[in-house]
Amino acid sequence: MLEGIHPLLTGELLLHLDRMGHSDAVVVADAHFPAWALGARVVDLPGTTTPAVVAAIRSVLPLDDVPGMDLMTSADGVVLDVQRELMDAAGTDEDSTRFVERFAYYDVARGAYLVVRTGETRKYGNALLRKGVVGHPSA
């Protein structure tokens, strides 16, 4: 156990976050997301929600300059409660978040350094975060 580290940040997850470089992406995925089909590296965090995991990751990972986060567009294009929670957890808003159509999102996610699969059961509860520069003044 480490002091000052969010309890959802396992050793395995911290290792991968540390290995990420500037602009590398981490997908925080809901339970429906095809994590193992798309991700080269997958960390499973069952029993968690995507907003909780995004908040934990953001405690150690600065976001890249715009856009620092992508969300999957819901089928009807309405911003869902889970997506608002994800923006709050990431410290972004609708203006600083890019919304990506579902299949285009899969293509973007395919290039992510890491996929973190959660137990989130709400649809469209996926976030892609791009790592910024650690220690950067805007971080």
How confident is residue 58, by pLDDT bands cut at 50, 70 and 90?
very high
How confident is residue 139, by pLDDT bands cut at 50, 70 and 90?
very low
Q: pTM, whole model, 2 decimals? A: 0.94
120-134 pLDDT, tens digit per residue, is 999 999 999 999 998
Task: Tell me the three state secondary structure of residue 128.
Answer: strand
Which of these, 12, 18, 7, lies nearest to 56 by C-alpha position?
7
Q: So what's the pLDDT on residue 78?
A: 95
Separation of alpha carbons 31 and 88, rounded Å: 20
70-90 pLDDT, tens digit per residue, is 999 999 999 999 999 999 999
Residue 16 falls in the annotated catalytic set: no
Given 16, 22, 32, 136, the catalytic residue: 22
Task: Kindly report whether the peptide bond that precedes residue 67 is cis, defined as omega within 30 degrees of 0.
Answer: yes
Separation of alpha carbons 110 and 108, rounded Å: 5
Q: Which domains does the chain have, with CATH numbers?
A: 22-130 (3.40.1650.10)
Whether the per-residue pLDDT at 31 is higher than 60: the answer is yes
How confident is residue 137, by pLDDT bands cut at 50, 70 and 90?
low
Phi then psi dihedrals of residue 49, to 5 deg: -110, 160
Which of these, 22, 96, 87, 79, lies nearest to 51 by C-alpha position?
87
**Which residue is listed with tokens 């609708």?**
94
